[in-house]
Amino acid sequence: MKKILVTGAGGTAAINFIRAIRDTGEKIYIVGTDCSEYYIHLAREVNKRFVVPRYSDTDYIKRLNEIIEREDIRFLHAQPDVEVGRISEDREKIKSKVFLPDKKTVKLCHNKFELIKHLNENNLPAAKNILIKEEDDIRIAFKELGKRIWLRAIRGAGGRGSLPVEKFSHAKAWIDYWRGWGNFVAEEYLPGRNMAWQGIFKDGSLIVSLVWERIEYIISHVSPSGITGTPSVARIITHEKVNDIAVKVVDSLTHKPHGIFSIDFKENESRVPCVTEINPGRFFTPSYMYVKAGVNLPEIYLKLAFDEPIPKLPKFNAFKEKVLWIRGIDVEPVALRI
């Protein structure tokens, strides 16, 4: 029997990952960890639950290893970005398998400013940005990026700190509020569709991938930007340009891609899909949507991590049917054929 540990197990993304694993019907022993003594109780489909220190705590890795040894864990999947980052850096200390891109790639992807800089230098479509260190950087951003710019934190998920602005005074006040000087960027405002590409690689080869589109967001009405990063309505789509760009982007990051690459795209005014961020090593929140579309990516990921054979799959557009995924707070998601 496989024995795995999933971090951030009380969060929606991890819950969907665990649901997808349970849907395989295979007997898998799952241990869930979370840094919240409250949210850990939402991890209802695991065999055991443990509260652990925050990722930044000096005892974080030590506590994970205690659980790994106690429960005879063979594989660790980190779901929150911050835990992916910490586990990536300390992977040699982890007493179980992990399935992650290399350290350099994870570190680069977790810094949105450096990532976009890398993509621009490699002539890959990405939102142009400027690091905001001082007030003059805001003025330069409006001059170079247009009359409407997008402010966002260089680290963090869920649209952290994001806000579209058209006035210098608003931009300055927002950076002041977040104490974000040196930690925020001004980005080119991209008005088009918001899409996501999820791909799994092993030892340099793309194994499987698909594309989906975000249509509406959870509680977007309470977000200043109208975006919370977590979709309430999404749909599986085909987009060959996104497929093409995604592979070129991953190849630019590492010579031997390994593990999960989750890439966000937004179209510019010319409808060119531009990369806005990359989340390495973990699944997007609605991973159970893939199961309903006919391809269980978490199952494929787990088999690859354990070096098990997998069924023959298309590298791109790996779904059996397109679905519209509708979800909300405290309600079961609905998948509709489209």
Same domain, 196 and 320: yes
- Structural domain includes residue 42: yes
- Structural domain includes residue 229: yes
Same domain, 176 and 201: no
Distance from chain centroid for Cα 240:
21
Confidence of residue 316 (pLDDT cuts 50, 70, 90): very high
Tokens describing residue 34:
């979370």
Confidence of residue 158 (pLDDT cuts 50, 70, 90): low
Letter string b/e over residues 186-225, b meaning 16 or more CB atoms within 10 A of that residue's CB: bbbbbeebbbbbbbbbbeeebbbbbbbbbeebbebeebeb
Residues spanned by the domain of 266: 192-337
Same domain, 245 and 166: no
Q: Which of 120-134, 145-159, 162-176 has the lowest mean pLDDT?
A: 145-159
Q: Which of 98, 116, 146 is the last residue of a domain?
A: 98
Calculate mean pLDDT across residues 259-276. 96
Q: What share of the chain is helix, strand, coil (3-state, %, to 5)?
A: 30, 30, 40
Same domain, 251 and 329: yes
- Residue 273: what pLDDT? 98
Q: How many CA atoms lie within 13 A of 177 on its CB side?
A: 12
Closest-CA residue to 265 (of 296, 297, 241): 241
Distance CA 35, CA 12 (A): 14
Find all residues with CB under 8 Å of 293, minimum gap 6, and list them: 210, 236, 319, 320, 321, 322, 323, 335
Q: What is the rounded (10 degree) CA torsion for 272, 222, 151, 279?
A: -60
Same domain, 201 and 329: yes
pTM above 0.85, yes or no: yes
Confidence of residue 17 (pLDDT cuts 50, 70, 90): very high
Q: Residue written as tokens 């934190």?
A: 153
Confidence of residue 131 (pLDDT cuts 50, 70, 90): very high
- Residue 226: what pLDDT? 56
The pLDDT tens digits of the residues spanning 68-86 come to: 999 999 999 999 999 999 9
Tokens describing residue 233:
């309505």
The rounded percent of the chain whose pLDDT value lies above 70 is 96
The pLDDT tens digits of the residues spanning 27-55 come to: 999 999 999 999 999 999 999 999 999 99
Same domain, 134 and 62: no
Domain count of the fold of the chain: 3
**Tell me, what CATH number does 288's domain have?**
3.30.470.20
